[in-house]
Amino acid sequence: MSVLALEEALRRLGVEGRIEAREGLAVLVPRGGADLAEASLRRRATALAREHGFTHLALELVDGPDADRDDAPGDGAALHRD
C-alpha cells in the first residue's frame, strides 16, 4: 500500500487531500474544498484506492475555517476495535 502514490493519483483525478492509512482502509482527509458529490468521481477514487492496495476508501468529513490544517483539532479518523 502506497499512501503517497494514492495521494498523487487522486490529485491527478482532481481530488486534493491527505491519505491516512488504517490497515486496508485509506481515509481521505480532503483539502481545498474537494468536491466528491459526484458518484462517478467517488467510484473512480475508490477504484484508485484498490489499485494502490487498499480495500476501502473513507472520506473524513471536516468543517470549519481550520479544516485544511494538518493539526486541526480532532484530526485523524477513529477506528472502531472490537
Residue 24: pLDDT over 90: yes
**pLDDT tier, 62 (very low <50, low <70, confident <90, very high otherwise):** confident
**pLDDT tier, 35 (very low <50, low <70, confident <90, very high otherwise):** confident
* Half-sphere exposure at residue 63, Cβ-oriented, CA atoms within 13 angstroms: 1
- Write the pLDDT tens digit of every residue in 39-59: 899 999 999 999 999 999 998
**Residue that wins the pLDDT comparison between 64 and 43:** 43
Q: Cell numbers for 23, please give them.
A: 490497515
pTM: 0.71
Q: Cell numbers for 82, please give them.
A: 472490537
User: Distance of alpha carbon 61 from its chain centroid, rounded?
Assistant: 10
User: What value does the mean pLDDT take over residues 23-44?
Assistant: 86
